Structure 1
Amino acid sequence: MTTSKQLAAIREALEDYEEGEAIDPVLKKAGLAPASQKMSHDQVVQWLLQERDKADKANIVAQFLHGVETNQAHLRAGLSSLASATHFMQHPFSVDKQLNCQVCGAFEHLDIDFVLLNQTRYLCGSVLSGDIAEMAFFLQQANAIDSPRPEALPLTTRIFEMIRAMPDSARPKDMLKQLRKLKGVKMSEEEARSFIDLLGHCAILQTPEHPGLLQRFTNQGLAPSSSRSSDWSYPVDFWTGANGVYADAMKYWFGDYPQLLAQ
């Protein structure tokens, strides 16, 4: 069990880490700094598919809920990965006119820096840009944790009540402001943005024209965006308050927690 003091030290060390620099002993002691590895695209695809096949949805959902209630981003990351990988398919490295894979967006040869992966896992809590190494690693870490079902979910309940109450004209940036103001939420702006993106990955925040990754695999690098200047991920980039919360996705992920479903 990681104490709040230990978690704060880990987060601080990860915030200070830059690729190629000396690794803080705090990260080594916590097991968050294994040696970097060189892997091929095809190896990472196999790694991801193996971890997805091992995944227990109920366990990963329970981790996510614990992560929300205790403000621990790394416990939320597995759900983003599982949703993103739901329809991920077996495929070889495939290019047309670009250097990266036209199916998943990864390059043919990858340098896997596990400290950087843990930096995203602990400081964002969500897969960024559909990175397949993040997806594989986050699932691997989630699969190694046995999380009992949480009973009380006051903060998660308040978050979904807040989302359902957003005006029809609301955009993700408006939700970001409200989320960070919500009593009990202790997220940096980056964490809060990643949390909202995660809900899009899970299809909880989507639009009929732009479904979440629960419905189909989408290469985040090729996904459409609402504008050239937008830095929200697909599909939440297109969400408005009028779209609300997608009930089918809520039931799929949180059917065992009726207090989170619309009454």
Structure 2
Amino acid sequence: MDLRSALGSYAFVSNFPQHEIATTPASIVLSGARRCNWCGFYEFQNPAKLDLNPLNFGRHKWGGVSRDNPVYAWLDLSLFRAEALQNPTASDKQIMHQILKTARSMETNATASSLEKALTGVFKSSKAERRVLIEILAICGVLQPKGRGGYFAEFTLACEREHTGQHFNDWSYPATWWRGSDGVSETALAAYFPDL
């Protein structure tokens, strides 16, 4: 799970704009914290008191949470650097081929939720784990919605990450916009998974 998470964090920060929250447009949220309109980071009065344990728990339990949170990406990639690298097995590659085949075969108007259901049984996973995997593939641009910014070869600013407006749609950006007609981006797939 933590290796999947690192992939999403890497994709999120690959084109991260160098900036300081103090010099970018920001919004004040209900707690009084400033939220950077570029990266989405919440400025804290005392960053040393920020509890990283729930973020680390999410890495191991589901394959990550807060995928568009710069603090999470920092934690995730810092911990990943200490991990022993693993080469994918033939079985791993076969599973990925099945995931991609399923995504490519979805109906034109299928959503990320439809894809999550279609992936049931393709690999050993819970619903939450399948959701996280789809969101990671969307962050990587492998499941890139057409006409929407993403993170592959660019960085979509926090203020530009539109939501569908559907109150029942709780998918993160850009997975919330993916449709079956978008299929799989072969360019992003080749960049992140050159051996498939």
TM-score exceeds 0.5: yes
Does the residue aligned with 1:100 lie in a helix, a strand or coil?
A: strand
Contact 2:149–2:156 (8 Å) recurs in 1: no
Corresponding residue of 2:88: 150
Amino acid at match of 1:106: F
The one-character-per-residue Cα deviations of 1:52-85 (angstroms, maximum 9, x if unpaired) are xxxxxxxxxxxxxxxxxxxxx1121100000000
Number of matched pairs: 183
Does the residue aligned with 2:88 lie in a helix, a strand or coil?
A: coil
Contact 2:116–2:134 (8 Å) recurs in 1: yes
**Separation in 2 of the partners of 1:213 and 1:195?**
16
Q: How big is the shift at 1:199?
A: 0.7
What is the aligned counterpart of 1:187 among 125, 146, 165?
125
**Separation in 2 of the partners of 1:151 and 1:191?**
20
- Residue 108 in structure 1 maps to residue 43 in structure 2: yes
What TM-score does the superposition give when structure 1 sets the normalisation length? 0.64
The structure with the larger Rg is: 1
**Separation in 1 of the partners of 2:144 and 2:135?**
10
What is the aligned counterpart of 2:8 among 49, 56, 80?
80
**Separation in 1 of the partners of 2:27 and 2:165?**
24
Q: How big is the shift at 1:221?
A: 6.4
**Separation in 2 of the partners of 1:228 and 1:212?**
20
What is the aligned counterpart of 1:166 among 91, 94, 106?
106
Structure 2 gaps of 5+ residues are 29-33
Amino acid at match of 1:91: H
Per mean C-alpha deviation after superposition, the further-off stretch among 105-114 and 239-248 is: 105-114
The one-character-per-residue Cα deviations of 1:77-117 (angstroms, maximum 9, x if unpaired) are 10000000011122112354422122222222233323211
**Separation in 1 of the partners of 2:61 and 2:84?**
22
Q: CA 1:148–1:195 in 2, change beyond 3 Å: closer, same or farther? A: closer
After the TM superposition, list the runs of 4 or more consecutive aligned residues in structure 1 that deviate by more than 6 angstroms.
none
Does the residue aligned with 2:147 lie in a helix, a strand or coil?
A: coil
Root-mean-square deviation (Å): 1.9
Contact 1:80–1:202 (8 Å) recurs in 2: yes
**Separation in 1 of the partners of 2:14 and 2:6?**
12
| Identity fraction in percent | 28
Q: Which has the higher contact order (CA 8 A, sep 6+)?
A: 2
Structure 1 gaps of 5+ residues are 1-72
